[in-house]
Amino acid sequence: MIYPFLTLSLKPEILLIQENDNIILQSANRKLTFHHPISELKLALNLLKNSNNTVAQLRELVETNGNGIEAGNKFENYLDKLINLGWICFSLPIAKAIPMTEHYEFNISTIDWQQESFTLSRFAYLHCFAGELLLESPQSKAKIIVHDWQGAALIAKLSKPHTLAQLILETSHIPEITQEIIQQFIILLSITNMLAVSEDFHLMQWEFHDLLFHSRSRNGRHNNPVGGTFRFYDKIELMPLTKAPMSDKILKLYQPQLEHLAKTDISLTTALESRKSIREYNQEAPITIEQLGELLYRCARIKEVMETKMGKLSRRPYPNGGAMYELEIYPAINCCEGINSGLYHYQPLEHTLYHISESNQKVERLLKDAWYSSGQQDTPQVLLVITARFGRLFWKYQALAYALILKHVGVLYQNLYLTATAMNLAPSALGTGNSDLFADITGIEYYEESSVGEFMLGSRK
């Protein structure tokens, strides 16, 4: 259903190419060829490319210059195909809706405009992009460009429930906004899934940031670039494979003999079946620096460095998108035999610890936060703070980069769990931590590198 008040145009990125007697419409990944189109269809396609017209205006033009109703029907069939491809924009004087996916369909509005109250969806958000004000929502497969401040003023009013009559009354002071424009704008918001009347029990369980993150880091509801686009290849130098030393105090860690472990370790099946989160520790015999060194060696060391035209990549004991390896590990030591309390950084190529900070109130607060998060049993003997050097991954990947980081944290967690189980240690992953506190302790810029995971360790009781 195309509402008669909407004007239509081709999306700006759709190319219209005249080649011999053919017309080609082309997007980044699709081409549609009209072979020997009649003159009135050529005219209509050119109007879609270069101006805004309603369906009625376009149809009248085609019928007047062509074979009457038959030409009009044929044109509308072509138009339906273009709409289904997501190539047609729908405009009002104050806004333009732009589909972001193929197989685009309007959400047919079922709101009783005279009786029902409605608000802007709690998932809809306004933001600036490339000099334009965009309204988007993870519920919608379209985005709306808001042309003028009057549209933004109408959206602001929709933070509270209104019937259409109430909204018209409350916005009567906005210049150049008529009742007709208000009603048309509200219908545009409704058919693009930007309004809320009620939520089913599935939707009400989602928080705004979770649904936005889910929808924008996966395909299906947007047309943003996704994957290994290398968008900063010729703009920003790739972060180095490993960090520069963070101090001159270095501790060489124990390296286990893997051949010996292959003979003495419990089986993978036993480790998987017996793995569990343990948050109580043997206080008389805490974890040792040798055990910590073995765990880090088995779970996170650099096994191989690879030189590529894109820069240095590596292989480690856990999988990572594109072998970029953005994660870093910072052991916060509470009590560990053979090492002083404080915060350290693990260097995976050298298999060493760099001492960053003595134990102080802030480091103790990191450990205390972990204790609170884990149910307040025992304070962890060692807390592994896992960070991401964002630029290392963002340099290559787009849209899904942060989702990849969290997946990498998950596989590192599993490595730590299974290896700690095999070593008869007490492991426990945490669901959250304080990234600002970590930044305060280390002095690392929040947007450059930040904590994204925490893992508690101790000796088994």
Closest CA to 294 of 261, 267, 249: 261
Q: What is the structure's pLDDT at 243?
A: 94
58 contacts 44 by C-beta, under 8 angstroms = yes
Neighbours of 353 (CB within 10 A): 25
Fold of 7-91: Outer Surface Protein A; domain 3 (3.90.930)
Spatial distance between the Cα atoms of 316 and 302, rounded to a whole number of angstroms: 5
Fold of 227-459: NADH Oxidase (3.40.109)
Spatial distance between the Cα atoms of 34 and 25, rounded to a whole number of angstroms: 8
Give the single-character DSSP code of 225: -
Spatial distance between the Cα atoms of 451 and 395, rounded to a whole number of angstroms: 19
Q: What is the structure's pLDDT at 1?
A: 62
Residue ranges per domain, the chain?
7-91, 95-216, 227-459
Amino acid at 215: S
Q: What angle do CA 363, 366, 369 make, to 5 degrees?
A: 150
At 253, is the secondary structure helix, strand, or coil? coil
Extract the tokens encoding 212.
Answer: 């936005």
pLDDT along the chain (461 residues), means of 10: 87 90 88 84 88 90 80 86 92 94 80 84 94 95 94 94 91 88 92 86 92 92 89 92 94 94 94 95 95 98 95 96 97 96 97 96 94 90 97 95 97 98 96 93 95 96 88
**Quick one: which H or E segment has residue 456?**
strand 449-459
Spatial distance between the Cα atoms of 132 and 148, rounded to a whole number of angstroms: 10
Spatial distance between the Cα atoms of 456 and 232, rounded to a whole number of angstroms: 36
| HEC letters along 114-147 | CCCCEEECCCCEEEEECCEEEEECCCCCEEEEEC
Extract the tokens encoding 83.
Answer: 């709409």
Spatial distance between the Cα atoms of 394 and 122, rounded to a whole number of angstroms: 29
Spatial distance between the Cα atoms of 404 and 393, rounded to a whole number of angstroms: 9
Please state the φ and ψ torsions of residue 332, each to the nearest 5 degrees.
-100, 115
Tokens 């490595």, located at residue: 415
Overall residue count recorded for the chain in this entry:
461
Contacts of 250 (CB under 8 A, 6+ apart): 352, 353, 354, 355
If you write DSSP's letter for every residue of 142-191 in order, what string do you get?
Answer: EEEEE-SHHHHHHHHHTTS-B-HHHHHHHTTTSTT--HHHHHHHHHHHHH
Give the up-direction half-sphere exposure of residue 204: CA atoms within 13 A in the CB hemisphere.
5
If you write DSSP's letter for every residue of 254-284 in order, what string do you get?
Answer: P---HHHHHHHSPPHHHHHHH------B-SS
Angstrom CA distances, 46 to 25, 178, 253, 411, stand at 11, 31, 70, 53
Q: What is the structure's pLDDT at 98?
A: 95
Spatial distance between the Cα atoms of 385 and 318, rounded to a whole number of angstroms: 17
Identical fold for domains 95-216 and 227-459, yes or no, is: no
Q: In CATH, what class is 95-216?
A: alpha beta
**Quick one: which H or E segment has residue 41?**
helix 39-50
Give the up-direction half-sphere exposure of residue 86: CA atoms within 13 A in the CB hemisphere.
20
**Quick one: which H or E segment has residue 406?**
helix 401-422
Extract the tokens encoding 402.
Answer: 């942060």
Spatial distance between the Cα atoms of 275 and 415, rounded to a whole number of angstroms: 11
Extract the tokens encoding 105.
Answer: 């369909």
R_g over Cα of the chain: 30
